Amino acid sequence: MTADPPVTWLLCDDRAGNRSQCNGVAAALGWPCEVKEIRYTALAKLPNALLRAGLWGVEVESKQAINPPWPGLVIAAGRRTAPIAQWIKKQNFGNTRIVQIMHPGGSGIEAFDLVVVPEHDDHAPLRNGLSITGAPHAITGERLATEKTKWEKTFRHLPGPKIALIVGGSTKNRTFTPAMAQELGRKASNMASEAGGSLLISTSRRTGESAQQALLGEIKVPSFNYNWGDGGENPYFGFLSSADGVIVTGDSMSMCSEACATTGPVYIYAPDGLITRKHARLHASLYQHGYARPLADLFEDWQHAPLNPANDIAAAIHNLLVSEQEPS
């Protein structure tokens, strides 16, 4: 790499997981990146094979922010951003490198300089592809150390092992029912009780009031609770950094991957009816590589390497840019 990194744009839309992945790669790169906020029209629902390189599905305000001078690098995540990245490269006469996280779908895949495909997406290998485990994120060892220093006094009164219980909830096509929440609360409470420990509990917007109440009603051990909508600073990163282990619901690829950024035990709660086949493939990949295990009855203290595929993506981007600068 040269001393001057390229002007870099992140195409960030309304999906938190996509945004988190872009930000994770930007953090791993370690240079300034400009965020382009993308909002869509109904046309964005059309297949990319029809949209091709263009801004057909982008709202006017977002279009107005996508203008020259063009960047040297674009990082985007998710199918809907792919036509935008391709269009930017076309406007810059091919001089913009475009990196797409997740398979872009449709035609024109050869236009991408790097396509990052998670193992759980189950796509055939690509000439310009990079296979990763899990989803990229911005949780580094340094950040966990900083957050632990910041939060450790808050949780000091709780007995160990401290187990973080990170709860997602319903998705577009799946419902996190009160019965599921009750089962999760009971299993987590029993695990902490058998170990003589405590729980650090975080719910989300997707949990839902009835499921949240069902879960909390099963907690019989010392705990620190942060529920969606509570005031004050969200201790999510404090939970991950301070916990001796993590229980996470399997409905979010980002949450599962972020939990595995720690080095302690990670247990995934993945009941039938909540988990899609794609999520199940992610869980199987995490189990296979030793990052996580299915939620069990007893807490076991085991260790694994921290997971952050953003580092692998950043390394691939560095290699891509270096290869362009080498004389032929």
* 68-113 pLDDT, tens digit each: 999 999 999 989 999 999 999 999 999 999 999 988 887 678 899 9
Please give the pLDDT value at position 1.
Answer: 45
pLDDT by residue (tens digit) across 141-171?
Answer: 999 999 999 999 999 999 999 999 999 999 9
Cα(117)–Cα(115) distance, integer angstroms: 6
All structural domains of the chain, each given as residue ranges with its CATH number in brackets, are: 8-137+309-325 (3.40.50), 141-294 (3.40.50.2000)
Question: What is this structure's pTM?
Answer: 0.88
Please give the pLDDT value at position 325.
Answer: 62
Please give the pLDDT value at position 40.
Answer: 95
Both tokens of residue 171? 């998705």
CB 62 within 8 A of CB 39: yes
Q: Which residues of 279-313 are buried (b: 16+ CB within 10 A; e: fewer)?
A: beebbebbeeeebbbebeeebeeeebeebbbbbbb
pLDDT below 70 — which residues of the chain? 1-3, 107, 122, 124, 324-328
Please give the pLDDT value at position 89.
Answer: 97
Cα angle 209, 213, 216; round to 5: 135
Cα(254)–Cα(135) distance, integer angstroms: 6
Closest CA to 287 of 262, 311, 261, 260: 260
CB atoms within 10 A of CB 144: 19
